[in-house]
Amino acid sequence: MADDEVLGRVDTDGHALSAPVDETGTSLAVVPTGAPWLGWTVDPAEAPWDVAVGGETLTVSAVAGDTAVDAFDRTVASGWGTATSGQAWSTSGGSASDYSVGSGTGVHSVGTLSVNRFTLRAAGTEADTSLAVSVSTPVLATGTQGHQAYLIARHLDANNYYGARVEFGTDQSVRLTLIKVVAGAPGAYPAVDTGLTHEAGVPVRFRFDVQGTTLRARAWLASDVEPTTWQATQTDSSLSAAGQSGLRTRILTGNTNTLPVPFSFTDFHVAQLVTVTRSANGISKSHAAGAAVALATTPIIAL
């Protein structure tokens, strides 16, 4: 039955929702849950097919992007090495010793002000993607400038990329801003106060979603359940090409913290975006992040 369009499909070794989806959502952020960390095919000729999530059957019409997962489950000095899912990290900005991995955490050690530090996936590019990571700093921001952490998408080079910025303010606010750098010119959309309070060592998780010309972001305490609503949304057509994804940090001149200030990152996800039609079996419901995603029909293998 290997040539059957339904019964001949072979499932991967496991996928899950990276982000929650409500009962009407038609875009799923999906990541693999274990080795060999394979994503789904993006070949449009393979669609449609049905998947099952929490008792609901959904019909897949398109899959976009690459996928990566990093639990930072290794020890690396002067770099970030290779992610859990097998992709190498590249670094730029500051010095090599500013980057390290250990005890389930990837670190940017910010020892100089107004210097961008990047860790980017050295292989794999995507135009549409959903990124998420948790970040914390061990001290409260002091002076006139806060601590800035970014999720980066469509990174073509140092002069062209999109980003979502979480800033831990000197008033302990947590602000979320969508940004772009185009032909070397930086731009930022209005910041959104997330209502969160920055506490030293307490991780905030944030997600950056890029689909077509739509940029969206949200932030929440990493210990809480991820919301389904977006706090910042903008339309921007400046950059459309596929690019790298990753992370950036910066502390601007005016901050008076004792340096270095380490930014600790955990649980990094690059999710594939899966377009679906809901309720193929008459059931439509909300699904939480972490819900298993699998083929709705088990393949038949000839003996």
Tell me the average pLDDT of the chain. 93
In the chain, % of residues over pLDDT 70: 94
- Answer yes or no: are the C-beta atoms of 276 and 22 closer than 8 Å: no
* Residue 140: both structure tokens together: 């409260």
pLDDT greater than 50 at residue 167? yes
Would you say 263 and 123 are in contact if contact means Cβ atoms under 8 Å apart?
no
Residue 31 pLDDT > 70, yes or no? Answer: yes
Going by C-alpha positions, the residue among 286, 300, 273 that lies closest to residue 30 is 273
pLDDT at residue 187 tops 50:
yes
Hey, where are the domains in the chain? Answer: 68-273
Count Cβ neighbours within 10 Å for each residue of 258-271 and write b for 16 or more, e otherwise.
Answer: eebbbbbbbbbbbb
User: Which residues are within 8 A (CB) of 161 and not within 5 positions of it... i.e. 6 or more apart?
Assistant: 152, 153, 154, 155, 180, 181, 239, 243
- In 3D space, the residue among 268, 296, 289, 292 whose CA is nearest the CA of residue 18 turns out to be 289
What pLDDT is recorded for position 124?
77
What is the architecture of the domain spanning 68-273? Sandwich (2.60)
Q: Residue 187: what residue type? A: G
Question: How far is residue 166 from each of residues 105, 142, 270, measured CA to CA in Å?
Answer: 18, 16, 18
Counting runs of H as helices and runs of E as strands, what totals does the chain give? 0, 22
pLDDT of 36 reads: 80
pTM value? 0.92
> Above 90 in pLDDT, residue 122?
no
53 confidence band (pLDDT: 50, 70, 90): very high
276 has a pLDDT exceeding 50: yes
State yes or no: pLDDT of 12 exceeds 70: no
For residue range 77-119, list pLDDT tens digits in order.
999 999 999 999 999 999 999 999 999 999 999 999 999 999 9
What band does 1 get if pLDDT is binned at 50, 70 and 90?
A: very low
> Would you place residue 2 in the very low, low, confident or very high pLDDT band (cuts 50, 70, 90)?
very low
Residue 244 has pLDDT above 60, yes or no: yes
Q: What pLDDT, on the 0 to 100 scale, is given for residue 125? A: 85
Is pLDDT of 8 > 60? no
Q: State the pLDDT confidence band at 38, using cuts at 50, 70 and 90.
A: confident
